[in-house]
Amino acid sequence: MTRFALTIEYDGRPFMGWQRQDHGPSVQQAVEEAVTRITGEQALVYASGRTDAGVHARAMPAHVELTREITPFRLMEALNAHLRPQPVAIVACRVVPGDWHARFSCLGRHYEYRIVNRRAPLTWDKGLAWQIGRPLDADAMAEGAARLIGRHDFTTFRSAHCQADSPWRTLDRLDVEQSGDVIAIRASARSFLHHQVRSMVGCLALVGQGNWAADDMGRALAARDRAALGLNAPPDGLFFVGADYPEDVSPAD
């Protein structure tokens, strides 16, 4: 058996998310079916994250274990050929040790959320960003984001359907950066709760619009109550952008 690490890029709009679903197509299903067509094996593909419906990925680490002898380059080429025309691509592939696991070996996950702050309709970015026409104060948003850094009970920013055992998470990074009419919000943590990033972004948008003060972010966090959430951002602007692994064993190496 050979374990291959994959780096997967995808547009999440046609999918119900990464994980296989009974009620619609998933990225996992698309990749697993491509593997079966190439090798004849019913192999499972494990990813470092489980993105929701409509959420995208620029570099989602995953792994698959195969009995068939094949080089990483030929596997990548064959997978991409069988994935077309779906908006899913394998951008890197390598052999990794048998104990390397895309999910359980992961030390940190990174997301980016893109807001386009303008009144004109979106063209190229439609479905790939959240458009907000009302002017946003990115500095105020950054001040509000700082209230969430550290280890906290993130119940307020957790989906009611979240299956995690605990609402406690350590948020290592929540940066807000503006370039022209694009506001990028970058979040990093070892792991995230279901809808956590989208919920934080939605409330930061309220701060940017002046509907909330920066301190309201702290108050919402302290409430530990989903009812205290101001707004859940849509999936359009959310991208899984990378993950960290020990000893530089990365699927992109």
Catalytic residues, by residue number, are: 52
CA separation (Å) from 147 to 89, 94, 105, 222? 37, 40, 29, 10
Cis status of the peptide bond prior to 85, with omega within 30 of 0: yes
Q: 36: part of which helix (H) or strand (E)?
A: helix 27-39
Question: Could you identify the residue written with the tokens 């205290």?
Answer: 228
Name 59's Cβ contacts closer than 8 Å, sequence gap at least 6: 7, 8, 9, 91, 240, 241, 242, 243, 252
8 Å CB contact between 203 and 217: yes
User: Beta-carbon neighbour count of residue 239 at 10 Å?
Assistant: 25
8 Å CB contact between 204 and 185: yes
Q: Are strands 238-244 and 56-66 parallel, antiparallel or unpaired?
A: parallel
